[in-house]
Amino acid sequence: MSPQILGFFSVLHAIAGATDQPDVDAPVAIGERWPVIRRGERAQISRLTRRLIRERDDNRCRFCGRRGGLLELDHIVPWSAGGADVSSNLRSLCHGCNSGRSNYRTEFDQFVVPVTHACDVCVATWELNYGPSLHSRRFPDAQKVTAYCGNCHEVRFVTDPRRLR
Ligand SMILES: [Zn+2]
Ligand SMILES: [Zn+2]
C-alpha cells in the first residue's frame, strides 16, 4: 500500500472518533482486500453480545440468508484493518460465506444497527417498577442511537452509550 493511502487511513481513523475505526467506505474498492494494519490476539466478544447479534440477525447468515446452524461473527470492517469489536461492525455469517469473504471488501459492507441489552423504554419501565437503576444516568445532550434491544426485541432509542454493545 502506498504512503498516501496509509496517510488517508490514519485521517479516517481520526475522523471515525467515537468508534475509533476506519469508515466502512474507506477507499478500498469492492473486491479488494482491506489493508492489514494490526495482527495478534484480540479480546473475546462477550456471550451476551454474541447472542444479541444473532437475535438481531434473525439467526440467519446475512449474506446467503441461510437460517440456523453454526453462524460466525464477521467484522464488517475487518478487525485486522482496524475495525472495532462493536455490534454495529459485527454481523452473522455462515462458515462458507465468512471464509469466502475473508478480508475482501464486498458490496454488502455497511455498518448495521447496533445491539443493546436495555433500550430507553426498557430502562424507563424498569425504573417505574423498581426505582432508579444503574442505567438511570441521563444524557440530555446525547445523540439518540437506535439499537436492537434484546430485552423487548424491538429496535428502539438508546441514549446512554454505555448500553450499546
Ligand atoms: Zn451464508
Ligand atoms: Zn427494550
- Ligand nearest the Cα of residue 93 is 1
Q: Both 29 and 73 in a single domain?
A: yes
Q: Both 24 and 90 in a single domain?
A: yes
Instruction: Using the structure block, give the residue that is written with the C-alpha cell 455462515.
Output: 94
Q: Provide the pLDDT for residue 136.
A: 66
Task: Write the CA distances from 33 to 30, 36, 39, integer angstroms.
Answer: 8, 9, 15
Inside any domain, residue 108:
no
Q: Return the bridge partners of 69, or none.
A: none
- Ligand nearest the Cα of residue 100 is 1
The alpha carbon of 101 and the centre of ligand 2 are apart by a number of angstroms equal to 32
**Boundary (domain end) residue, out of 52, 67, 101:** 101
Collapsed DSSP state (helix, strand, coil) of residue 146: strand
Q: Both 50 and 83 in a single domain?
A: yes
Predicted structure pTM score: 0.82
Query: Is pLDDT above 90 for 37?
Result: yes
Give the Cα separation of 144 and 64 in Å (integer).
31
Q: Both 96 and 30 in a single domain?
A: yes
DSSP for 104-140, please give it. Answer: B--TT------EESS-HHHHHHHHHHH-S-TT----T
Q: Both 50 and 91 in a single domain?
A: yes
Query: What would the grid cell of residue 75 be?
Result: 467484522
Inside any domain, residue 8:
no
Give the Cα separation of 106 and 28 in Å (integer).
10
Domain with 142, as residue range(s), is 115-163
Report the domain count for the chain: 2
Give per-residue pLDDT as tens, 85-124: 999 999 999 999 999 999 999 999 999 999 999 999 999 9
